[in-house]
Structure 1
Amino acid sequence: MERSAMAIPKPKPLSVKNDPLHIIKTRKLTHERPATIAGPMVRYSKLPFRQVCRRYDADIVYTPMILAREFVRNPHARMADFSTNSGDSPFIVQVGTNNVADLLKFVEMVAPFCDGIGINCGCPIREQVREGIGCALIYNGELLCSMVSAVKKKYGDKLRLETKIRIHDDWDQTVKLCRDVCGAGVDWITIHGRTKNTRSSQPADFQAIRYVVDRISDKGVPVVANGDCYLLEDVQQIADLTGAHGVMAVRGVLSNPALFSGFITCPWGCIEWFWYYTLEFGGLPYQLLQHHLFCMLESMEVDRVLIKALMKIKNTTELLDWFDDHFELKRHGERGFGQAVQPPLKR
């Protein structure tokens, strides 16, 4: 059953199983690989999708960015933006905020249900930047450090806190920012290897991430590298190039939630699991359900005529019927459910 955020005094206890910092620091020893992380996507990292990514070897998953000012003031925003359940762990709630007061109230409301908080310092959307949210924070280190310090002063090691940043044109500015947030008490830093103005079509700059990692290593704060992770082999390559403890995929897992399990394209099992979790948990807007399925089918290289037909369907009931008409869509509990790799088209 889903749970909406309510103000409960104590954060959820951390253990070796759900402590994201422990996972990031130890995956190389326990699994001989970096930590694998499914990053935050605006609107798309909802509970059903997080569960699919977790089933396919994502160690840690994120919610979409949630705006603190709306969340703390509007109960309808809380219901729409945040849901979880007992199996949704470990996961990080990412927040967009520009002041300490909203952040502390937000953390108080979600801490009982999550394993960590991530402050978004990387969103380049103009509307957010104009309000001092997202990328604006990498140019306002004093404010960012005050927010990190306020959360850690109140919660200490009972709650993990991350900052997800982009690089500056001047890499030394990024080094200074990272050293400052380390001093403020951040548990780990995720670095997206692009600047605020770098287009997503341009390659991520892993040399820049390496430059920063080498210059903050004395702080003992692990770094997660983000950018251009589309295959399992990319995970180790990115970790080797950057020296990062973990690797985050975002666009890669949107089209292939099984990326971290080594699948080159999305396996059919993801479709069946996603349908199951969506219907089991409820609350996913139809447009998101439709677009998730579109992205996964497109990765499988399903006939474009079929995909175009999918996008014309207007509601969940018709969409489920459409899948049953064109594919052998197994239900949870049926033999072979969630195991197929190739799309089981009906001829």
Structure 2
Amino acid sequence: EAWEWFESVGRPVYWLAPMVGQSECAFRMLARRNGAHICSTEMIDAAGYARSESYRAQFPFHPEDRPLIVQLGGSNPADLAAAAALAAPHCAAVELNVGCPQRCAKKGGYGAFLMEKRELLAECVRSMADAIRKSNPKAACLVKIRCFDDVAETVELARMVRRCGCQCLTVHGRTRVQGGGKRTGRWPANWEWIRAVKQALDIPVISNGNIRTHRDIEECLAATGADGVMSGCGMLRRPWIFLPQ
């Protein structure tokens, strides 16, 4: 099913990352015009999306904004399931954010801080996967993670979310303490960590980190063996990064 879904969305290689305050519809459409094969919304609070119609209205869907991934942030399985069920009919996939390192994520116990709560993370993924399947069988359950310093621990985390229903995994090749946004430039992403995850899984794996120029794309694919590359800050600096120079 994972590979059937990947084929159904055109085997996307160029992915626009979910960026809070940046990955809005207008920027997604700009990215698509400049070569992005698939785009993600910014991280959306699952509880707010599940419980508030006015909050959901802040994230409208556009018929030309396809294929689209809706990314959710949260650590309450019931809220994640409810939000995923509401979003799934309008998109190609719903993704759980297990990579955000910001203070808000720490306070709420979601994002990258879920990596240390294996049982809760497993329940979150299972709940989302089940809700998506019931709401829109054509949509997939995705997960985005960061890495541990211990490669084996990262691989086991990836295998766990796969067992729980993840059909496509994005791996940000940095640890939680290496931060995000502008800080990421201080620590290059480790492509070897991503390669280890790709070799361990039987589902599509997307590499995130170090995509600053178009040349980086082929180098990343060769180094990681990944099925696609995701760019966030690189796209903000050079929205044409996916186009051959």
The within-5 A match list for 1:132-147 is 132-147=109-124
What corresponds to 1:55 in structure 2?
Answer: 33
- The Cα shift of 1:139 comes to 1.3
CA apart distance, 1:151? 2.7
SS state at 2:57 partner: helix
Find 1:184's aligned residue among 164, 180, 186.
Answer: 164
Provide the rounded CA distance (Å) in 1 between the counterparts of 2:28 and 2:104.
Answer: 27
Following TM superposition, the consecutive aligned residue runs of length 4 or more in structure 1 with deviations greater than 6 angstroms are: none
Q: Please, which runs of 5 or more residues in structure 1 have no aligned partner?
A: 1-15, 28-34, 264-347
Give runs of aligned pairs for residues 193-342 of structure 1, distance below 5 A.
Answer: 193-199=173-179, 200=184, 201-214=186-199, 216-217=200-201, 220-263=202-245
Q: Which residue of 2 aligns with 1:42?
A: 20
Could you tell me which of 127, 131, 150 is aligned with 1:150? 127
Superposed CA offset, 1:69-97 (max 9, x none): 122223332222x1121101001011001
Q: What is the CA-CA distance between 1:192 and the residue it aligns to?
A: 0.3
Q: Following the alignment from structure 1 to structure 2, what is the Cα–Cα distance between the partners of residues 232 and 162?
A: 25
2-structure distance, mates of 1:252, 1:23: 27
Letter of the 1:98 counterpart: S
Would you say how many aligned residue pairs link Structure 1 and Structure 2? Answer: 235
8 Å Cα contact 1:20/1:116 also seen in 2: no
Read off the aligned partner of 1:177 and give its amino acid letter: L
C-alpha distance in 2 between matches for 1:26 and 1:124 = 29
Aligned letter for 1:135? A
Q: 2:5 & 2:22 partners in 1: Cα distance?
A: 21
- Matched residues in 1 for 2:161 and 2:232: separation? 24
Change (3 A) 1:51 1:38: same
State the partner residue of 1:13.
none
Shift of 1:127: 2.1
Q: Using the alignment, how far apart are the partners of 2:231 and 2:197 within structure 1?
A: 20
What SS is found at the alignment partner of 1:186? coil
- Whether 1:164 and 2:144 are equivalent positions in the alignment is yes
TM-score of the aligned structures, taking structure 2 as reference length: 0.90
Separation in 1, partners of 2:213, 2:106: 31
Does the 8 A contact of 1:20 with 1:60 survive in 2?
no
Measure the CA separation in 2 of the matches of 1:46 and 1:26.
Answer: 23
Amino acid at match of 1:160: A
SS state at 2:97 partner: strand
Paired-residue identity, % = 34
The structure with the larger Rg is 1
* Separation in 2, partners of 1:61, 1:25: 13
SS in 2 for 1:163: strand
Report the secondary structure of 2:242's partner residue.
helix
Q: 1:213 to 1:66 in 2, by over 3 A?
A: same
Point out the more displaced range, 58-67 or 197-206: 197-206
Scaled by the length of structure 1, what TM-score is found?
A: 0.64
Q: What is the CA distance between 1:57 and its match in structure 2?
A: 1.2
Alpha-carbon RMSD: 1.9
- Is the contact made by 2:23 and 2:41 (CA closer than 8 Å) also made in structure 1? yes
Q: Is the 8 A contact 2:84 2:132 kept in 1?
A: no
Aligned equivalents of 1:223, 1:231: Cα separation in 2: 21
Could you give the per-residue CA deviations for residues 134-177 of structure 1, whole angstroms, max 9, x where no partner exists? Answer: 00111122222222222323443432111110001211111111
Task: Specify the SS of the correspondent of 1:191.
Answer: strand
Letter in 2 for 1:203: P
Match of 2:154 in 1: 174
Mean alpha-carbon deviation: is it higher for 44-53 or for 65-74? 65-74
- How far does residue 232 in structure 1 lie from its aligned partner after superposition? 1.4
For the residues of structure 2 that align with 1:259 and 1:93, how far apart are their CA atoms?
Answer: 22
What's the secondary structure of 1:197's corresponding residue? helix
